[in-house]
Each structure stands twice: as C-alpha cells, then as structure tokens.
Structure 1
C-alpha cells in the first residue's frame, strides 16, 4: 500500500524569485523573517535538510540530512493560493487571475445585488478583520452584504451569522461564483461569516472558498482516474472545487489540520493525502505578525515527530509551500518567492540536493511517478532517475 502525504505550509516561501520586483516583492523572504523571532525553532525540519535547501541561509545546516530536498521556482504568473496549488498539481497559469485594487465594477455589484436581493457595502480592498470592524455595525442594521477584496484574486463576502445564516451566505457566494467568470473569473469567492457585537466582532471558522474549476487535468484527476484515493485536508477541496478528490475533511486552523491528518494516517488507503495548513498565511503573514508566524512554524516542527512515527514503509512525506507572505515587510500581501520541497521516507534516498527545480509541477509529476502513472501534467518527476529511489 503506497501513500503520499503532501503538506503545503501555506505561504512559507524561502526567498525572492528573480522576477520578484515585477510583483513589488524585492527583498521578501518569509522563512528568514520568521527565523529572526526568538520564538522560532525548527530542529526537526533542520534534521530533514530544510536549512540545506539552496538559498536558505538560516540556522545550522545538517551534515547528514534524513531527507532529500529542492528549491521550487514558480512558472505561473501570479502569487496567490489557487495559482500555487494548481501548479503543484500540474497546471501552469499563463496569465494572472484578475484583481481589483479599486473594487469590483458596477455591473458586477449590480448583478450580485439583484440576484441576492441585498445591497452591497464596502467594495474595496480591505483587511478581513478591519472590514468587519468598520462595516459590521452597518451590516447588522441594514442587512447589506460586506463585499471586499485584497491584492489576491478574491471576491469576499462577510456577513454576521445572526443576520445571514451561514448556509444562506454560502448560497450567495455560489451566486457570485456564477457571475464571476470569463474576464472577471477571480480565483476564489470566499464566504467570511463572523459573530459578536459592534467593537467586538470576530470571524468564525466556517469560512468556505468557492474556487474556479481547474481548466486542465491535474495530478489529482490522474490519481482518481487510476483508482487511487485522493484525500484532502483543509482548504484543498475548495481550491480544486472538489475536482479529483475522493474524500475530504475541513479544518479549524493548523493544530486541527495536523491532528486530523495524524488520525487519517491510521486509515487504510492507497494514494495521496493532500494537506493545507493555512494559519501561516491567514493569521500571521497577512497581519505582519512575525512572532506569531514563528510560533506556528515551531508548533509544526514540534508535531513533526508524531507524523514521522506514523509513516509506513511505503509512505512518502512531502513538505512544500504555495507562495510567500513575508510578515516583516510593509506589505500585507503574498510575496513572489521560491518554495521548499522536502522528500522523506524509506523509499527515498536521503541527503540529495536536487537544486532549483523549474516549476512546482515537478511535485505533482513526482507523485504520479511514484504510483507508476504516466504523467499528463506540466512537470517532470524528481524520482524518474531510478538511482534516487531505494
């Protein structure tokens, strides 16, 4: 029984890419920024070879890494969650998804208001916590929906759970998803429910993403079509609009995601378990919280031995990211960075530095190669060279 556990540490980039200036991200290095916090400690990842990856200049390098590793270069245009995950699964996005620094066009808002029967307030880029602070009371008084965006390709709808029931909010987001297509095909429509009273609003864990359907065959599709299990933990199912997924479970933050993954490691399945841990990005990167980011990385490292202990002889562990979100820069947006790749398991020869790989799709191609499936995606397997596999 072969199993691959693919962890995406959301936004944990490892340094600016050559085209970072085109995105306003010169000097960004998420991992380096977090490592400067006194709360940063990742001895277990260091033992795997995390600090040995090209361009990673933190801590002490491991003389005999237990894993193999690489630095991954993004080929897609963009630096958002959907683009990064889709490229991991084998889709290179030739053009960036649309963004709306001045808010959404009047015709989009008018159609959304007509279809939902509710007015819209805000309609501009905003922090998710600030927007409910500034517009939450008006929303509660009027029932108008708080629509906002960010530097990412997202259409976000916030509503108080006592004003708009969560299932109704999801329905409104499905309406928005149908409206937002073609040139306005944003990567994600996101439901952002919140609770509380004016001056004390908080977002709940019942966020839900409504993504575009991937336009091409992905690694997930190929695995599913070949009869393998494709298990999704966290927002993976949302990112791929359920396409290529055989089972999924939602999570409430990193700790919950890790616990649910460890529980699923006791499950008999043959295929891929694809995990997203979102707190790095959502709670710390976008809020420029260096210490919080460092604590979250330290927590993952502390839990890593529990994950490794659960691994079976034919299991492979892969750890990567989808973009950067440097918490130390003035920007609160994602950053255009290289991402890491760790490859670990009894089937993997340890200590091999695969250098810089051109395209996150090499991850998806590697997964397909391990299961003996001829790849139809954009990417080249790291494991095609047979002398790298025991």
Structure 2
C-alpha cells in the first residue's frame, strides 16, 4: 500500500500532516451462507486494505477526499448533514454511529485510498468503516472496545448504506491477526484464532469479473428455504432455532414435508457447518490437503445444492482441479465474484496462465488475479 500518494494529497489540500491508519479487507476460507443460519465462518484479514490520513481540524465539519475517485466532500455531523456521495456516507455513518453511542467526535480532515479492489468481494467497504472507527476511537480517546468498533461498521452499512450485512467483514478487518484465521461463531459471536501458515502454498483469488443481477432476490429465497426447513424440523424438535441446531437425521425426518429444493438448500448448510469444523481441525494439524478437499466440497455444494454458482465460477473451479490446485471454491454469496484458491507454489504459475488464457477464450473477458497474504487487523501506521 503506497502511503506517499495519500500523504501528498493531504498536505496539498489541508497544508498540514495527520496520522495514518490502515484496515484490511478480508477473505473467507470456508463457511458460506452459514452466517444467517447461526453457523461459523472462517475469515482472515489480508495484506490489502484502506489507508487514511486523518487530523482534527477544530471545526464542526468533516472534509474528506477520496484519492482513488478524485472526489472531495464536506459535511457536518448531524443526521440532516448526510453527504450525497456514496463513499462519504461510510465515513458519515461511522461518525453518526459513534455519536449515537455517546462518543464525542469533533471535525476532522481526511484523505484516503485503497488497494482492496472494489466489487471483488474483499470487503472494501468494511475496510473503510473499520479504518475510520478505529482511528476516531484513538484520536478522540473514546475508549470503545474492538467488538463495538466492528458493530459500528456493521450498523453503518445497515443505517446509512442500505446493506443488511452480517458482522463477519467488519469483525475480520478489526480483529485480524497475522498467520491466523478467525473462527467466528455467528450466533454467540465467540471467536478463536486458528493457525493458518501454509508453507509451500499461495492463496490467490481469481475474479470472474461477473456480477449477476439476480443475486439479492435469490439470496432472500435461499434464506426463506432455510427458514421453511427449520419450521418443519421444529415441530418434532422444538429446540431447533436455526439450521445450526439441526443434523442430517433431523432433515431426513422432514424430507416429505418440505420441497425438494428446500431440502437441498438445508442439506448444503448442515454439511457446510460440519465442513468448516473439519477444516479447523485439519488446520490445527497443518493438514492442508484435507482443508483443500473441504474447499472443493463447499464449491460442489454451492453449485449443485445451494445453486448460487454460475458457469464462469464452475469453469474456474474445474481448471483449478485440473491444474492440481489443493483447494478451490467460490467465495462470497455467489452468482459471480471470485474463487479462492490454495495453490502449491510449484503449480502456481501454470495454474494462473492456464486459468486466465482458458477463461478469456471461453468468456471473451480476462479474469483478474489477486494474490493475498493473511495479515493483521486495524492499526495506526
């Protein structure tokens, strides 16, 4: 991350220097569509993210410059002062959420830039929210704990950006730890660090540069399927609140009472929650072969049972298998976006060349390649 550009822009605009803060984007190794079913996720912070220079300005306004977009915005801190630029609403939202919690924020100047690609499913928005939540907490001595910082980011998405997201992205950004993934229990929000130091492997994302329009309505339908199955199981097992509480035996008991589609959706989720736990056991032993098999299992489930993959992602997954990649799967909600791949170093170059060339020939556009390393969470530089 090149902080020189941010430094120069800040000095040019505001004639002074502030402090630099950074928050990372994230990947999720395994555990997809498990969050709203009360299961687990396994994210890790990455070495790409959002960098901001910030300094109090003694005024009651925020003056902000988005370096990558070359856009400037100026706004107050009351509810009616909401800026019109969508990127500025993330900063405004964080400020409002801190104020709602009784924190005293004063006006400040900022310039920021990111090397988390927008729209690649690496949570650039969470990185931006975490950067400002972390920085303002420190600059104004607000004494907010890390947990609450993640919740401030999530509430910003809900209340100011119109996205009803879970907590995973902000959590990973704030709590990231080098050489570790975070096993987060989406129901209790308890978490533990799981070692992830794959010697002899590289982690790389291949972005299909596809975004399918049906994503949000299809996502809601998947949630409804899960809820329908829980309602059917609950009649026999009143203790079952979420699919997290169910097992395949319970699901099979209601097979004739739910649609075939709803059955498949629930089967995927129940299996995925178990796959994640198996992957964590394998990581504790440094057994990356098993981790890779679980990743392929997730892709199969998302493609055939949950049906949230697409032709482009299935193609990238097939190429990974043919090239001897240890593990590969669609990452994120599906219907486009990236595959995440755990690749032996000696097979890396061939895999990237083969995937890019084959994909471009087949689909007429070139996929983007993002090598990532697992890094630390929000911090002052």
**TM score, norm. by length of structure 2:** 0.28
Q: Which has the higher helix share?
A: 2
**TM score, norm. by length of structure 1:** 0.27
Larger of the two Rg values belongs to structure: 2
Which structure exhibits the higher relative contact order, with contacts defined as CA atoms closer than 8 Å and separated by 6 or more residues? 1
